[in-house]
Structures are given as structure tokens and as C-alpha cells.
Structure 1
Amino acid sequence: MSLDRITLSGLRARGNHGVFDHERENGQTFVVDVALGVDCGPAAAADDLALTVDYGRVSEQVVALVEGPPVDLIETLAQQIADACLEHEGVHEVEVTVHKPEAPIQVPFDDVAVTISRSGR
């Protein structure tokens, strides 16, 4: 089966993820991109939201995970987001990128990001 993609880019939320105390105490902004591998054919043919993934609901779940209990690594956060996305009926694969633009590194930079790809059912 050839999969279509539903993409959410630039979801922003404040979280307290990181290994350093100041990251846990002060928090920082995280930016998340999610690409869902789905079959849009049935929904497009019927023009019916019930036959596709509600990306509004997915975006709310992503933000809730970023704002939720802290983890040390953005790799862990990315995995939690991927797992939540794969629980949606019709999502066969997902690619998640978690950006940490305020990462505590000592050289000039634009972004730090981790991208993972996972497949489900």
C-alpha cells in the first residue's frame, strides 16, 4: 500500500525536559514536527473526517506530552510522541522531529533536533 502523509509542522509548547537542573526548573520551548503515514483515499472519496486522522486531536496530544512529565532526553520525548500517534486508527507510520532551539550548548547554533521514524500496525 502506498501511504499518504498528514504533516503537522512547528507545534510549539513549553516543557521541562533535559538532564540539567536549570532545564527542569526553568523549562524551555520545544518545537515538534509530525508526519503521519496514512491512507487518505477513503476519507477523500467520502469527504468524511471519521475516515481519516483528526490532526487537531493529534496536535493536542503532542502539546500535552511536551508540557507533561519531564524526561531527560528529547529522544525519549520523540518516542512518546510516536507511540501516541501510532495509537490512532489508520496511522501506519510516523516520523517525529523534536527541536530543542534553546539547548544548553556553548557554541552558536540554530537548532538541535532528533528525528525518529516508527511504524505500527
Structure 2
Amino acid sequence: MDDIDEITLTGVRAFGRHGVYAEERERGQDFVVDATLFLQTARAAASDDVADTIHYGEAAERIAEIVAGEPVNLLETLAERIAHDLLGRGAVERVAVTVHKPQAPIPVPFADVSVTVRRSRPSGAAESGVRR
């Protein structure tokens, strides 16, 4: 088995209008996303060239765009959209995406609520090249 490495983005914050309740859609709130991308980075380490890996700044921007984009009811749906997008980034083989909703409408004191999804590129899917 080939070595697999990780690139992790923690605390990507963006404003979105996701939620089951109309008030959540109207007012909106901040969402926080953690994403771990699993890929082989040996080629990038040898070449010292960002073209041989994932540009994590651009991945973070894309996460923020998805959070700020079309509203969904569930954190599960939002996490799935982010995971699917990240898996489309060339060398990424697997992802773990956690979406936090710290201002969720929960009637008791709480620190955070989150949903984590773990997804893999379908076996046999051809790598479409490294995207930066």
C-alpha cells in the first residue's frame, strides 16, 4: 500500500444561511469547517512545487464559497457538498469534512454541534490531474 499523507484545514469560517428553520435562512450565521485531505505528497516534497500538491488556500476559498452558497437544510448535506468538491481536486484520494454550527437553535446551553463525513474517491476513478 502506498503512503498516504494529510493536509488539514482547521477552522475555515464562512457565513451561510443553512438550516431547517426559516429564521436560520433569513438571519444566517457563521459555520466553521475542518477538512482533512488524504493524498500522496512525496512528488510535491521532491519537486518543492505547489503544482504537485493541493493548493490549500484555494481549497479553503472553495469551502467558504460552498458555505456561502445555496442554502441546505442539513449539515449532512453541506458536509457532503464540500467533501464531493474536495474529492474532485486532482490528487485527493479521501477526505474527512466536519461542519460546525456553533449558533444552532438548540434550547439548552451547548458549545458546538457538528457533523463529520468521510468520503473516498470511487475506486477506479481516474486522477484528473493535480488542480491548484
Normalised to the residue count of structure 1, the TM-score between the two structures is 0.98
Q: Give the drift of 1:2.
A: 2.2
Matches within 5 A, 1:49-68: 49-68=50-69
Task: Give the RMSD, CA atoms, in angstroms.
Answer: 0.6
Secondary structure in structure 1 of the residue aligned to 2:118: strand
Alignment of 1:92 onto 2:93: yes
Q: Matched residues in 2 for 1:97 and 1:2: separation?
A: 24
Normalised to the residue count of structure 2, the TM-score between the two structures is 0.90
Structure 1 gaps of 5+ residues are none
Structure-1 residue corresponding to 2:102: 101
Structure-1 residue corresponding to 2:38: 37
Q: Give the drift of 1:96.
A: 0.1
Q: Which runs of 4+ in 1 moved over 3 A?
A: none
Output one character per residue of 1:44-100: Cα deviation in whole Å (capped at 9) or x when no partner: 011011000011111011000000010000100000000000000000000000000
Structure 1 letter corresponding to 2:4: L
Secondary structure in structure 2 of the residue aligned to 1:85: helix
